[in-house]
């Protein structure tokens, strides 16, 4: 997708440890044109997968996930990083995930009320690095006895282990943009072929 690639090239900031900061259009400030392009590409790829629900983790995955869910005309559900007082331990599915960018662990939660064995869940996230968030969401879907329809990613760091982990788990993965390498010294990015 040239528009998202162009935005990454023009506005992305390369930080130490292969961190790509794209807060100006995806992770804090949201560019609706970027979201629309992401939504259309993910819908086109997953439209025949029988999606009944879209799932992400708060917060950066919410914008693309709600756009994709709206196109499918299905609910969007997000896993919460803190257990609200309105949910009790026996009424939730929970799993611990590690955030590569923040280098911290979160115990994420969804209410059992919103995932059922009849669901075919499309998981959406902003980044795929080591795959911990996606694997955690796959675990939540499995706890509910639901099926994973696929995993849609906005930006994949294909030089990290995430895609491999998902493929070994038998999950269909589609990434809008795949990054082959990030050079922190020269501040350059090279892109991998799509899908």
pLDDT tens digits for the chain (195 residues)?
A: 578 898 999 999 998 877 889 988 888 888 999 999 999 999 999 999 999 999 999 888 999 999 999 999 999 999 998 777 676 667 899 998 877 667 788 889 999 999 999 999 999 999 999 999 999 999 999 999 999 999 999 999 999 999 999 999 999 999 999 999 998 888 889 999 878
* Helix axes of 32-46 and 62-72: crossing angle, nearest 10 degrees: 50
Coil, helix or strand for 13? strand
Model pLDDT, residue 128? 94
pTM, rounded to two decimals: 0.93
Minimal CA–CA distance to 53: which of 120, 142, 150? 120
Model pLDDT, residue 100? 67
Q: How far apart are CA 80 and CA 110, in angstroms?
A: 7
Model pLDDT, residue 89? 64
Model pLDDT, residue 138? 97
Model pLDDT, residue 183? 86
**Residue 5, annotated ligand binder?**
no
Model pLDDT, residue 26? 86
**Residue 131, annotated ligand binder?**
yes
Q: How far apart are CA 65 and CA 156, in angstroms?
A: 16
**Residue 27, annotated ligand binder?**
yes
Model pLDDT, residue 120? 98
Q: How far apart are CA 44 and CA 42, in angstroms?
A: 5
**Residue 21, annotated ligand binder?**
no
What is the Cα 163 distance to its own chain's centre?
A: 12
Spell out the domains of the chain, with CATH numbers in brackets: 35-179 (3.40.50.2020)
Model pLDDT, residue 101? 66
**Residue 132, annotated ligand binder?**
yes
**Residue 118, annotated ligand binder?**
no
């Amino acid at each position: 997708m040239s528009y998202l690639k162009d935005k990454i090239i023009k506005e992305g900031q390369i930080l130490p440890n292969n961190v790509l900061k794209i807060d100006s259009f995806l992770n804090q400030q949201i560019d609706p044109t970027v979201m629309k392009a992401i939504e259309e590409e993910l819908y086109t790829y997953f439209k025949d997968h029988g999606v009944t629900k879209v799932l992400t983790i708060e917060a950066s995955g919410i914008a693309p996930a709600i756009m994709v869910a709206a196109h499918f005309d299905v609910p969007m559900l997000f896993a919460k990083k803190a257990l609200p007082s309105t949910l009790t331990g026996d009424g939730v599915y929970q799993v611990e995930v590690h955030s590569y960018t923040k280098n911290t662990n979160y115990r994420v939660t969804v209410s059992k009320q919103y995932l059922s064995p009849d669901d075919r869940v499309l998981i959406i996230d902003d980044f795929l690095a080591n795959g911990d968030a996606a694997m955690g969401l796959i675990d939540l879907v499995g706890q509910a006895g639901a099926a994973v329809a696929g995993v849609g990613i906005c930006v994949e760091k294909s030089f990290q282990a995430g895609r491999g982990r998902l493929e070994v788990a038998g999950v269909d993965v589609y990434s809008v943009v795949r990054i082959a390498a990030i050079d922190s010294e020269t501040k350059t990015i090279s892109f991998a072929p799509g899908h």
